[in-house]
Structure 1
Amino acid sequence: MTASRAGFTVLGFDVDPDKITAIDAGRSYIDAVPDAVLSSERQAQRFFATSQFERLGECDVIAICVPTPLTRHREPDLSFVSNTCQQIVRTLRRGQLIVLESTTYPGTTEEVMKPILETSGLVGGQDFFLGYSPEREDPGNRDFETSTIPKVVAGDGEAASALVSAFYGAVVKTVVPVSSTRTAEAVKLTENVFRAVNIALVNELKLVYERMGIDIWEVINAAKTKPFGYMPFYPGPGLGGHCIPIDPFYLTWKSREYDQPTRFIELAGEINTAMPRYVVDRLAEALDRRLGKALSRSRILILGLAYKKNVPDIRESPSLRLMELLLERGADVAYHDPFIAEVPRTREYGHLKGRRSVSCQPDEISGFDAAILATDHDAFDYQAIARHVPLVVDTRNAFAARGITADGIVKA
């Protein structure tokens, strides 16, 4: 939509025909793009959608924004990037600019994409041009939009660099050129490794301070009053989203090629991955001490399935892992999320598919023995939850932040 509003004629491609059908009907399936914006660009004949690969030959610029997940062995899965490039080869023509936006390890653009595209017989940097420009988005954050977020750009060679800068410079307010696609790939990884490591740090501090009888949230709130040398990060039930739980492992994998260990990053991953189990253990302990009830005989409500508040996105959500752990321990588990009516199929948690969000009315939630506040959606009625659920394990400090106190609220 940003490119369309900048004056370009834009073709949106997806292999899922249902998405194309929705767009053709004027329905946006992306929360950040209202239906009215989509309809306006379509009516202006600037935006079209297709699921036909052969139409990619019409485009002067192709931006690849496909998933880059991990395998079960935590190794990069670049199959979506490779398959997309193999399809582009069928219609690749002279003068086209191909830009990867997906997060990946340094070297992907040159080592993976370029050889595939050159099977067309065309030469990169001469017949077609390659670039890398990582996506920067913060779902649910209304303070920023695509056009106002500085865009890191790089090309494979001088001509490609000039083309990438020219294209994105016409779409967003600020472009940040760097010397190579490897550098641009490293920029994105660095941003997300920074967040993953610091979140792991506060998660570990939470465990330490809990043993000492110190509230980590009070510590952070006081520490962040320092106007220099400190940036607040917050603990939680684990990491979610399509970036922070995954991207650091792209770097750890690639670093093995250079015989360089990444102990700090790997330790952060271990700490963050362990947080859902810690939350479940805290819940089991609280049920036993406060209600005299075993977890295996309890009804548990998970509040929030999304990985962060006020968005309908469950990618890598720790809530799914929480649900799985609770079921493994014999609990009767349900969830409520105003943004997610039903658990969709996921790569790791296909067995949870089809579970539906339950009502959060007082007469419904009072039937649960305990709730885990996993995602602090603003839409929750926190007063009602505190009043009608006997035990609440709050992983986000959401109740205290709203001035709500009750004997049944336990921080975790």
Structure 2
Amino acid sequence: MSTDSANIIQEEKKTDRLQKLLDKIKQRNYTVGIVGLGYVGLPLMWTFHSNDMPVLGFDIDKEKINCLKEGRPYIKHLGKEMMQKLADSKKCDATTDFSRISEADALLLCVPTPLDYHREPDMQYVEKTCMTVGEHLREGQLVILESTTYPGTTEELVIPILESKSGLTAGEDFYVAYSPEREDPGNINFDTGSIPKVVGGHAKEGIELACALYDTSIVRTVPVSDTKTAEAVKITENVFRAVNIALVNELKVVFSDMDIDVHEVLDAADTKPFGFMKFVPGPGLGGHCIPIDPFYLTWKAREYEQNTRFIELAGEINTSMPQYVIDQTLKALNAHKKPMNGSDILVIGLAYKPDVDDMRESPTFKIMDLLKEYGAEVSYYDPHIPEIKPTREHDEWTGTKSISWNKEVVSGYDAVVISTDHSVIDYEELAEWSDCIIDSRNALKGIEPDNDIHFWKA
């Protein structure tokens, strides 16, 4: 047989296998494996399940698997009803047994991509996951990385590990794609299924298969030319937000010294129907994306001898905001003739954003750390987080419990710092109970202070 004939036969086999997989997706007989069942993986599991796709979840945390099997929610805003339906479904299963990876037709990797202590990408979770997947990878499977990362990760890190561990070849024996998660925990206007999905593939078969899969359950797929372009899309989205938040944070500091309310300025500016997009200042950045992702790009840019000065400046401004809150707290206490050292300070809101129980990268931790360094006795109140669970960077607070919300307890603090403005908190009560409030979120808007030093903007 000639080489040309052999190549034609090989191409026909590849085409036939791809078509069979596409037919399997169309028939809703294509098992979606989701590795990592946290704030990204769990909503993704629910979205595919809701569209009649069989799902198989993987996680190293036995408690999450037990919760899924028993219908107990472990992410507050997703609710019990969803968890119970997943637990009762015959088309949904979850396990800590990664040898079952071969049962899935597609494997969507939803694992953390944090920064290390040098503010550089910590890829250990992606690497370990790819090693495990590679050990059980079979021909015909589709592997999609969803974790936010630097451009080039899929081609330079993920594929080499999968190929090395499996002995298979990407684009020939198995398929690879990248599709960044776009979760916004607690957003009532958008969920996983209603947010368009950007997809970049390794080879045309990878993107075709990945788009077909997401098309079953997501409102729209947005294919781009390759995986590194898709990786760059997510980085760009979060850099845009980080830079604009830094801008309004800087304006907050400047306008405060001018005795101008930045929130009034932003509200008025937002009435312009074009050329302006409102961002809101705060005590710093939190969550799993915005405080981290820009640094992934700055790190990768150095490989090309490029300096991302604008992005790095924004990072400096945003990371400085917790100290600004502390400085305002010092001024507020001083106005009450009290020192920071020895004062009892209550911090309201541990979650990084309102109305969720997600405390990843929350600036509240930095605020609490700084208050403690200044000698204050620190407590917190968060109705969504009754107790601080172990974290990667703030183990000293593990086991600390939220205070009770009542006048006797709250009025006993020398100062209250509002770090997260949960909507369930009665701020009028707070204003009655405390005579020194440092408000970093404009939570007290519309509530008139009793005197000039009752409320302190931060």
Match for residue 189 of structure 2 among 136, 140, 143: 143
Using the aligned pairs only, state the percent identity: 53
Alpha-carbon shift at residue 403 of structure 1 (Å): 3.7
Q: Deviations over 1:298-317 (max 9, x none)?
A: 11000111100000011010
Output the amino acid matched with 1:396. Answer: R
Alpha-carbon distance between aligned partners in 2 of 1:177 and 1:30, rounded to the nearest angstrom: 30
CA contact (8 A) 1:68 1:77 kept: yes
TM-score by length of 2: 0.88
Q: 2:383 aligns with which of 338, 350, 357?
A: 338
- 8 Å Cα contact 1:383-1:404 kept in structure 2: no
8 Å CA contact 2:71–2:85 kept in 1: the answer is no
For residue 40 of structure 1, report the CA deviation from its aligned partner.
2.2
Alpha-carbon distance between aligned partners in 2 of 1:15 and 1:209, rounded to the nearest angstrom: 48
- Which letter maps to 1:371? V
Q: CA contact under 8 A between 1:370 and 1:390: conserved in structure 2? A: yes
Kept in 2: contact 1:5–1:41 (CA 8 A): no
The whole-number CA distance in structure 2 between the counterparts of 1:60 and 1:170 is 14
Q: Which residue does 1:126 correspond to in 2?
A: 172
Unmatched runs of 5 consecutive residues or more in structure 1: none
- Say if 2:77 and 2:356, in contact at 8 Å, map to a contact too: no
Q: Secondary structure, in 3 states, of the residue corresponding to 1:300?
A: strand
Q: Which amino acid counterpart does residue 144 of structure 1 have in structure 2?
A: F
Instruction: Give the SS at the match of 2:76.
Output: coil
- Indicate if the aligned counterparts of 2:168 and 2:174 stay in contact, CA closer than 8 A: yes
CA distance in 1, matches of 2:346, 2:303: 45
- 1:71 and 2:116 correspond: yes
Query: 2 CA distance for matches of 1:203 and 1:293?
Result: 27
Query: Is the aligned partner of 1:62 residue 2:62?
Result: no
Q: What CA distance in whole angstroms lies between the structure 1 residues aligned with 2:84 and 2:405?
A: 34
CA contact (8 A) 1:20 1:49 kept: yes
Aligned equivalents of 2:450 and 2:162: distance in 1? 61
Q: What code does the residue aligned with 1:232 have? A: K
Distance 2:199 2:73 in 1: 28
Does residue 84 of the first structure (1) align with residue 129 of the second (2)? yes
Partner of 2:211: 165
Aligned to 1:109: 154
1:405 aligns with 2:449: yes
Q: What whole-Å deviation, never above 9, does each CA across 1:274-318 have from its counterpart, x for those lacking one?
A: 1001111111111112x1010113110001111000000110101
Aligned length: 410
Query: TM-score, normalising length from structure 1?
Result: 0.98
> Cα distance 1:9–1:225, how it changes in 2: closer, same or farther (>3 A)?
same
| 1:188 aligned partner | 234
Shift of 1:404: 4.1
Q: Deviations over 1:236-268 (max 9, x none)?
A: 011000000001000000000000000011111
Over aligned residue pairs, what C-alpha RMSD do you find? 1.0
Q: Is the Cα–Cα contact under 8 Å of residues 399 and 405 in structure 1 kept in the other structure?
A: no
**Structure 2: runs of 5+ lacking an equivalent:** 1-45
> How many angstroms apart in 1 are the aligned matches of 2:409 and 2:177?
53
CA distance in 2, matches of 1:32, 1:301: 25
Amino acid at match of 2:97: Q
Q: Give 1 or 2 for the bigger CA radius of gyration.
A: 2
1:394 paired residue number = 439
Whole-angstrom distance in 2 between the partners of 1:387 and 1:5: 46
The alignment partner of 1:397 has SS state of coil
CA separation in 2, counterparts of 1:330 and 1:35?
A: 41
Counterpart residue identity of residue 276, structure 2: Y
SS of structure 2 residue aligned to 1:176: strand
2:58 corresponds to: 13
Letter in structure 1 aligned against 2:252: K
Distance in 1 of aligned mates of 2:69 and 2:216: 26
Report deviation, 1:363.
1.0
1:198-228 superposed Cα distances (whole Å, 9 cap, x missing partner):
0000111111111112111111010000000
Q: Which residue of 2 aligns with 1:220?
A: 266
Q: What amino acid does structure 2 have at the position aligned with 1:179?
A: S
| Contact 2:342/2:375, CA 8 A, preserved across alignment | yes
Partner of 2:38: none
Cα distance in 2 for residues equivalent to 1:9 and 1:232: 41
2:293 is the counterpart of 1:247 = yes
Q: Tell me, in whole angstroms, the C-alpha distance in 2 between the residues paired with 1:38 and 1:364.
A: 35
